[in-house]
Chain A
Amino acid sequence: MKRRILSTASVLAVGALALTSCAGAAGTADDGGAEGRTPLTVSVWNYEGTPEFAALFDAYEAANPDIDIQPVDILADNYAEKVTTMLAGGDDTDVLTMKNVIDYSRFANRGQLEDISDVVADLPGDELAGLDAFELDGAYYAAPYRQDFWLLYYNKDLFDAAGVDYPEDMTWEEYEQVAEKIAAETDADGTYQHVWRSLVHSTAAAQSGGDLIGGDYGFLKDRYETALNLQDAGASLAWSTATSQQTGYGSMFETEKAAMVPMGTWYIAALLKAQNDGVADFDWGLAAMPQLESGGEVTTFGSPTSFAVNGNAAHSQEAREFIAWAAGEEGAAAIAEIGVVPALRTDAITEAYFGIDGMPGDDGSAAAFSPDVSALEMPVSELSSDVDQILTEEHQLIMSGEKSVDAGIADMEKRVKNEVLD
């Protein structure tokens, strides 16, 4: 009887082997060699869910019929880990997409990327937002093709219900007052401050000129006070609750639980989609991030996404050509069309961007789209990721009320100096 079970099991196993024979059942087989075209492999995250890649690749293939771009699809979660592992195994994917500047710092400092300074030299540097950030000891190892920056999303209906003027050129004090007023007048929270450290840290660094890897963090104090005041006054969701419940900023805004949400420009596409699908139904607008003073320059921060050439690339020359194209005019036009903010900022591209169906048409929103300064979320250096870890840990302690602002900042300074800078 037991033997029968065993033999059934082995028959099953062999059958299953024969059935799929290691081919994989999901989708069609990869197209092998496209006749005569040079294959160019590009590592991407979430190819299906991130339309900018297909937009770029299709446009590039149309312009360069001799190139066949083959995306190497990696999940967005743990993208960097998989790329690290692949590279350790000697992988020869040509182009590596850098998800954020911290990843870029890691890969570049480990010597895994090719120096592409000559490619960057030919790019229109002045118009390419965030390009300077990629310089490491005088050389460039990646070029940005996309740069999202932070602005303020607001719900016009809730502002009207509370009888508050639409935000425009706000200071942080005004932001707090408006949030508290709306919280008092309506069922919604005045604002939703997402749990990420960058909302406090990178804003403060950009607007007051602080250095996030410098070891002195006094400049963070005011923004912490803003965040804590808001949650103490009940004008924003408590940080602890938001973290532990994994609250989505999209949920907060789209279900009208919060009247304002400071967030990156990447959210525009998702918001438009939610409205199209009928799961979010209200009038919204864009405003600049609150500033230290009114009437001055508008300063915000952004996170560029970039392409780099693998040090082991099989087709290094083709990879460079692709990067130059993607960071330039044509690449920018290809992604602006589908609602993604390109690194290259020209009037024509902004116009194309606001031409998308469903974008708010008011002047304020368009103005919010052209900040004067868009600093980098985190400076690029070999220390970035270590400092990031410490700042994140201390940030949690301040926001959950375990440490006072002053004590938390003092500990950040102490730990960064002891554990990283020494």
Chain B
Amino acid sequence: MSGLVKETSVPRTADSRAPEGGGFDAPAPMRRVPAKEVRQRRGDRITYAVLCVLVVLLMVPFIWMVSSSLKHDNQVFTVPIQWIPEEFVWSNYADIWERIPMLGYVQNSLYLAVIITCLQVLTGSLAAYGFAKVRFPGRDWLFLGYIATIAVPWQAYMVPQYIMMQRMELTNTFWSLILLQAFGAFGVFLMRQYYMTIPDELCEAARIDGLSEYGIWARVILPLSKPALATLALLTFVNTWNDYMGPFIYLTSNRLWTVQLGLRSFVGQFDAEFAMIMTGSVISVVPILIIFLIGQKHFIEGIATSGMKG
């Protein structure tokens, strides 16, 4: 069944990859016939219709979030749900910056997310090259060890981890979180799987050209794996940005708190200010949106634009 793939599995240049390949109606090649164009246009229209319905289904909880952020606390959890606030409390969006040091929290979150993402992408893609493109004894067992730890729930080892950090006097600093989250197995696994799809012939050719392994990684493999790098960066950023338990356990001083911790400070012993929490949640989605919109371009353009010489 995969004969087709094997047959054509010749060295290929980056430019030959389809940006939009893979759909049910894969893109038409050069020689277009009018009938086909008509079919494609109809296909597009159907796609749009399906997507619009989907978007509505997907956005409903977010709409509730926005609506709740414009209410008074005691109107958030009403039965039945009130979609349009009786009175629009726009002041929530002004107040939140004063009620809690929101700007500082955003800064802390950004700081953590950026550093962790950079380290994860850098060390992850390096290690993945070792696992995917260099063969040495014990490599695959080591890799298996990596994947295996993903299977252990964090709740199980968070106390041993904490004790270790405490001994190293790193609790209540950003270092604890950076060290814990920047070297995960996730990035290594993701990048390795992507590198597997890059033909070894490319590396071989580069080797003959006299490039060192590091040179191959930097000049051949990295440019070809932009979509995967973008994906890894996006997902790591989102997960770090939205993490609650990690910062909660490790960061005690208010100065160090992240957005997710700051928002929880509206939860009291017996009740919570949910309008404020939702206001903050809406605000905290904005950076992710920006990152996503920047990053998603690489899902399409990544390979097509990165030319490879030789």
A→B interface (CB under 8 Å): 1-3, 6, 9-10, 12-13, 16-17, 19-20, 22-30, 45-50, 72-78, 81-82, 85, 88-91, 99, 237, 241-242, 245-251, 254-255, 257, 264, 266-267, 270, 274, 277, 279-280
Contact = CB atoms under 8 A, between A and B. Distances in A.
26 contacts: A1-B223, A13-B114, A23-B255, A24-B256, A26-B105, A26-B254, A26-B255, A26-B262, A46-B265, A47-B254, A48-B100, A74-B252, A75-B264, A75-B267, A77-B264, A85-B158, A88-B162, A89-B165, A245-B81, A247-B77, A248-B274, A270-B271, A274-B73, A274-B74, A279-B73, A280-B74
A90 B159 CA distance: 12
A77 B273 CA distance: 13
A-B complex: 5 closest residue pairs judged by Cβ atoms: A26-B104, A24-B255, A89-B166, A25-B107, A24-B256
Contacts of A280: 74
A185 B270 CA distance: 31
A30 B122 CA distance: 34
A24 B73 contact: no
Q: Which of B103, B159, B271 is most buried by chain A, counting CB atoms within 10 A of its CB?
A: B271
Interface residues of B, number: 63
Nearest to A3: B218
Contacts of B265: 46, 48-49, 75
Contacts of A88: 159, 162-163
Contact of A251 (B77, B245, B268): B77
Interface string B102-121: 01110110110011001101
Given A242-B79, A279-B73, A90 B115 contact: no
B149 interface: no
Given A16-B115, A27-B104, A6 B222 contact: yes
A94 to B, nearest CB: 15
B77 A246 contact: yes
Contacts of A76: 264, 267-269
Interface string B231-249: 0000000000000010011
Nearest to A280: B74
Interface in B175-202: 175
B174 to A, nearest CB: 5
B2 interface: no
Q: Which of A9, A50, A99, A277 is most buried by chain B, counting CB atoms within 10 A of its CB?
A: A9
Contact of A24 (B81, B104, B171, B271): B104
Contact of A82 (B78, B248, B270): B248
B262 A251 contact: no
Contacts of A85: 158-159, 162, 249
B74 to A, nearest CB: 4
Nearest to A100: B269
Contacts of B162: 85, 88-89
B227 to A, nearest CB: 13
Given A49-B265, A77-B267, A266-B270, A25 B249 contact: no
A255 B222 CA distance: 58
A335 to B, nearest CB: 14
B133 interface: no
A72 B103 CA distance: 22
B107 A20 contact: yes
B261 interface: yes
Interface string B261-295: 11011111111111000000000000000000000
Given A6-B222, A16-B111, A248 B77 contact: yes
A89 B226 CA distance: 42
Contacts of A30: 253, 255
Contacts of B267: 46, 75-77
A49 B114 contact: no
B118 A13 contact: yes
B85 interface: no
Contacts of A6: 122, 218, 222
B306 A1 contact: yes
B79 A237 contact: yes
Contacts of B165: 89
Contact of A49 (B122, B158, B245, B266): B266
Contacts of A245: 77, 79, 81
A301 B264 CA distance: 29
Contacts of A279: 72-75
A20 B163 CA distance: 26
B75 A255 contact: yes
